[in-house]
């Protein structure tokens, strides 16, 4: 893919975030989509490409009244939307469609119109993981972290600082769910969920959604809002079984998706002004900093504990407050993308001054998949 050929021209979240008991999951998709279409100054009939995850693209297209010429239903967990951006950019460049709508929404808290998830007893997960008492993401996602900590000498206090730093960002964001300041002691004294992780190291569970509109860079200059260009993209998958990762010291999917995006963008780590790393749990920013090549894994814990990612730090990370403090409907990738776009438009509540390049890195499943999108506001 060539750089800067495709741009985001519309971006919006649902009108409300948090607890939304008066909307079904599909209506949350529509709310986000209509907000993004209005943001782009478009009509529904202008949309000729559609992508979504969990809900099917045919469901969303029918509900909204869209007749697409390009469809993507890639559903690899919470980073599906990073993959949609990558695929949409390629499709627009290839001339398969002109204007793509990507939607996400989940009734994660209120559970209205939410599709059931199950693990069949004859699947590989059903045979070789479920019988040993895994029960939801908190019992699975942190499984690698003790090995990671032992290998690299990372401390409990350093990982607690991930939550503390992100709460500082959330305090600046009126839409964040959790804004009260917290300390390392608060994190380490909060209720135990799955050792070594406690409540404040686990993401929120909320209702909400978001949507993006992409089109070619040539058309983007005629849109009402400042275009945000796609500079580089990457994606990969590893395994749906957390126990079968190649190593717990790294994510193979991260190590493919991240560097692929950096190479395509033609940038170095020094060029990055703003970084989002999908933080369903507090260890993910550490894995991300190491696997994306910002520093050796041995240094990730100290880097965060020293305050480099907090407000005023040299590498602003998860500036909306992240999945730990902003919101998390179950699939957080769309909210990370929204914050990168806000930062590149210069309208984020905790705006990073003069930011020109934003890296947005996602994870799907329990380290099962990954997608990375690098944005810029300079053509």
Partner 1 sequence: MAEPARAKPKPTPETQHFWDGTQAGELRLQRCDACANVYFPPRPFCPSCASRKVSVFKASGKGKLYSYVINHRPAAPGFTAPYAIAVVELDEGPRMMSNIIDCPQTPEALELDMKLEVAFEKLDDKITLPLFRPAKG
At residue 146, what are phi and psi to the nearest 5 degrees?
-65, -40
Looking at 81, 197, 278, 326, which residue binds partner 1 (CB under 8 A)? 197
116 binds partner 1 (CB under 8 A): no
122 binds partner 1 (CB under 8 A): yes
DSSP reduced 3-state for 144: coil
CA–CA dist 80, 365 (Å, integer): 10
Looking at 129, 207, 279, 339, which residue binds partner 1 (CB under 8 A)? 129
Least distance to partner 1 from the beta carbon of 246, Å? 10
111 binds partner 1 (CB under 8 A): no
Looking at 126, 153, 181, 296, which residue binds partner 1 (CB under 8 A)? 126
**With CB under 8 A as the contact rule, which of the stretches 16-24, 104-112, 169-177, 241-249 interacts with partner 1?**
241-249
Instruction: Please say which residue, 69 or 244, places its beta carbon nearer to partner 1.
Output: 244
- Using only C-alpha atoms, the chain has a radius of gyration, in whole angstroms, of 19
Q: Which helix (H) or strand (E) holds 213?
A: strand 207-216
Which 8-state DSSP code applies to residue 246? S
Least distance to partner 1 from the beta carbon of 101, Å? 36
Residue environment code for 206-239, b if the CB has 16+ CB neighbours within 10 A, otherwise e: bbbbbbbbbbbbeebeebebbbbbbbbbbbbbbb
145 binds partner 1 (CB under 8 A): yes
Instruction: Please say which residue, 122 or 378, places its beta carbon nearer to partner 1.
Output: 122
Residue among 47, 50, 46, 48 at smallest CA distance from 60: 50
128 binds partner 1 (CB under 8 A): yes
Looking at 67, 119, 183, 189, which residue binds partner 1 (CB under 8 A)? 119
DSSP result, 157-186: HHHHHHHHHHHHHHTT-TT-S--S---HHH
CA–CA dist 192, 208 (Å, integer): 27
CA–CA dist 163, 148 (Å, integer): 18
174 binds partner 1 (CB under 8 A): no
Q: Measuring CA to CA, how many Å separate 95 from each of 66, 69, 77, 222?
A: 18, 10, 27, 19
248 binds partner 1 (CB under 8 A): yes
252 binds partner 1 (CB under 8 A): no
Instruction: Please say which residue, 192 or 347, places its beta carbon nearer to partner 1.
Output: 192
**With CB under 8 A as the contact rule, which of the stretches 9-17, 39-47, 85-93, 185-193 interacts with partner 1?**
185-193
Query: Residues binding partner 1: what is the number (CB under 8 A)?
Result: 37
Pairing of strands 49-52, 99-107: parallel
Q: What is the largest CA-CA distance in the chain?
A: 56
**With CB under 8 A as the contact rule, which of the stretches 194-202, 206-214, 306-314, 355-363 interacts with partner 1?**
194-202
127 binds partner 1 (CB under 8 A): yes
Looking at 41, 73, 113, 196, which residue binds partner 1 (CB under 8 A)? 196
Looking at 38, 121, 185, 347, which residue binds partner 1 (CB under 8 A)? 121
142 binds partner 1 (CB under 8 A): yes
Instruction: For Cα atoms 105, 177, 227, give the angle at the middle one, nearest 5 degrees.
Output: 55
Looking at 8, 82, 134, 257, which residue binds partner 1 (CB under 8 A)? 134
CA–CA dist 121, 115 (Å, integer): 19
**With CB under 8 A as the contact rule, which of the stretches 40-48, 56-64, 135-143, 212-220 interacts with partner 1?**
135-143
Least distance to partner 1 from the beta carbon of 140, Å? 8
Residue among 215, 203, 169, 96 at smallest CA distance from 343: 169
Instruction: Please say which residue, 145 or 204, places its beta carbon nearer to partner 1.
Output: 145
Instruction: Please say which residue, 32 or 242, places its beta carbon nearer to partner 1.
Output: 242
**With CB under 8 A as the contact rule, which of the stretches 67-75, 100-108, 130-138, 355-363 interacts with partner 1?**
130-138
Residues 6+ apart with CB under 8 A from 207: 14, 17, 18, 19, 20, 21, 23, 28, 106, 107, 108, 109, 110, 329
Positions that interact with partner 1 (CB under 8 A): 119-122, 124, 126-136, 138-140, 142-147, 150, 191-197, 241, 243-244, 248
């Amino acid at each position: 893919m060539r750089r800067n050929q495709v741009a985001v021209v519309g971006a919006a979240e649902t009108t409300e975030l948090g607890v939304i008991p008066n909307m079904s999951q599909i209506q949350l998709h529509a709310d986000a989509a209509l907000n993004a279409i209005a943001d782009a100054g478009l009509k529904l009939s202008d949309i000729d490409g559609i992508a979504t995850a969990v809900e099917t693209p045919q469901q969303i297209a029918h509900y909204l009244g869209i007749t697409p010429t390009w469809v993507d239903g890639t559903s690899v967990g919470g980073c599906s939307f990073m993959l949609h951006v990558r695929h949409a950019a390629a499709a627009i460049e290839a001339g398969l469609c002109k204007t793509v709508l990507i939607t996400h929404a989940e009734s994660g808290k209120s559970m209205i119109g939410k599709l059931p998830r199950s693990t069949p007893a004859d699947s590989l997960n059903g045979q070789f993981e479920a019988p040993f008492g895994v029960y939801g993401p908190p019992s699975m996602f942190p499984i690698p972290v003790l090995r990671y900590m032992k290998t690299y000498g990372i401390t409990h206090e350093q990982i607690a600082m991930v939550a503390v730093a992100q709460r500082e960002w959330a305090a600046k964001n009126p839409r964040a769910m959790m804004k009260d300041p917290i300390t390392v002691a608060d994190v380490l004294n909060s209720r135990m969920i799955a050792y070594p992780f406690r409540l404040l190291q686990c993401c929120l569970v909320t209702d909400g959604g978001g949507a993006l509109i992409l089109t070619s860079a040539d058309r983007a200059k005629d849109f009402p809002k400042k275009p945000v260009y796609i500079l580089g993209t990457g994606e990969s998958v590893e395994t749906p079984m957390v126990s079968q990762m190649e190593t717990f010291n790294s994510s193979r999917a991260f190590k493919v998706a991240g560097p692929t995006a950096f190479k395509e963008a033609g940038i170095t780590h020094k060029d990055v002004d703003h970084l989002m790393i999908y933080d369903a749990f507090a260890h993910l920013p550490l894995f991300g900093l190491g696997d994306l090549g910002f520093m050796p894994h041995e240094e990730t814990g100290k880097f965060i504990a020293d305050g480099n990612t907090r407000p005023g730090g040299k590498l602003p990370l998860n500036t909306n407050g992240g999945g730990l403090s902003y919101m998390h409907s179950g699939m957080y990738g769309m909210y990370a993308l929204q914050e990168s776009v806000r930062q590149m438009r210069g309208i984020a509540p905790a705006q990073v001054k003069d930011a020109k390049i934003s890296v947005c890195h996602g994870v799907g499943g329990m380290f099962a998949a990954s997608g990375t999108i690098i944005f810029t506001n300079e053509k």
